[in-house]
């Protein structure tokens, strides 16, 4: 039983390394990789983002690139590869995700000293790791490392 977990961990590490290497030299940022199932039916989910908007063609090309390398490794077994963007329901995690969301409204949780603050505000600018938000009354300068959770609010207007 222990050998199975070591083997499964080794397979997961191998898949993650293949995915990471596939992204080298591209403008894609790896957000998350989920690997489920066993050798008979493995599901590999890869979530990527970019400073620019990602098209379906971009995702298809990246999927082909990852798939070419994965298919050469027999240890990985049968798998289904899903490559997509995280979607608007997932919080932003990396500073590189923020610039393309300037002028969008956010729901934030962030540290202000020892306190956790909540804020609904529009992202005005990004400068390095500093983000400026405006709630209609005040501007807030928040460093990316203070942010606990940053979620883009969907607007239908």
Are 115 and 71 in a shared domain?
A: no
Are 79 and 120 in a shared domain?
A: no
Are 75 and 24 in a shared domain?
A: yes
| 152 backbone dihedrals φ, ψ, rounded to 5° | -75, 130
Are 24 and 45 in a shared domain?
A: yes
d(CA 95, CA 123): 13
Question: How much of the chain is in helix, strand and coil states, percent to nearest 5?
Answer: 30, 40, 30
With a threshold of 0.95, does the pTM exceed it?
no
Are 66 and 113 in a shared domain?
A: no
pLDDT digits (tens, 9 = 90+) for 93-148: 999 999 999 999 999 999 999 999 999 999 999 999 999 999 999 999 999 999 99
Are 6 and 80 in a shared domain?
A: yes
Domain membership flag for residue 61: yes
pLDDT category, 1, cuts 50, 70, 90?
very low
**What range does the domain containing 18 cover?**
2-84
Domain membership flag for residue 157: no
Q: Treating both helix axes as pointing N-terminal to C-terminal, what angle do 2-23 and 56-71 enclose, rounded to 10 degrees?
A: 130
Are 72 and 102 in a shared domain?
A: no
Domain total in the chain: 2
Are 73 and 105 in a shared domain?
A: no
Domain membership flag for residue 89: no
Are 111 and 148 in a shared domain?
A: yes
Question: C-alpha angle with apex 34: 23 to 30, nearest 5 degrees?
Answer: 25
pLDDT digits (tens, 9 = 90+) for 4-59: 444 667 888 889 999 999 999 999 999 999 998 877 788 999 999 998 889 999 99
pLDDT category, 73, cuts 50, 70, 90?
confident
């Amino acid at each position: 039983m222990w050998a199975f977990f070591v083997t499964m961990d080794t397979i997961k590490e191998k898949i993650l390394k293949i995915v990471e290497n596939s992204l080298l030299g591209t403008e894609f940022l790896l957000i998350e990789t989920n690997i489920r199932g066993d050798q008979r039916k493995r599901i590999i989910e890869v979530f990527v983002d970019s400073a620019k908007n990602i098209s379906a063609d971009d995702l298809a090309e990246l999927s082909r690139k990852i798939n070419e390398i994965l298919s050469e490794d027999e240890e990985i077994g049968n798998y289904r590869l899903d490559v997509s963007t995280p979607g608007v329901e997932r919080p932003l995690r990396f500073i590189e995700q923020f610039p393309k969301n300037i002028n969008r409204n956010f729901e934030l949780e962030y540290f202000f000293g020892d306190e956790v603050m909540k804020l609904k505000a529009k992202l005005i600018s990004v400068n390095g790791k500093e983000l400026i938000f405006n709630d209609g009354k005040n501007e807030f300068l928040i460093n990316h490392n203070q942010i606990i959770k940053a979620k883009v609010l969907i607007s239908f207007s």
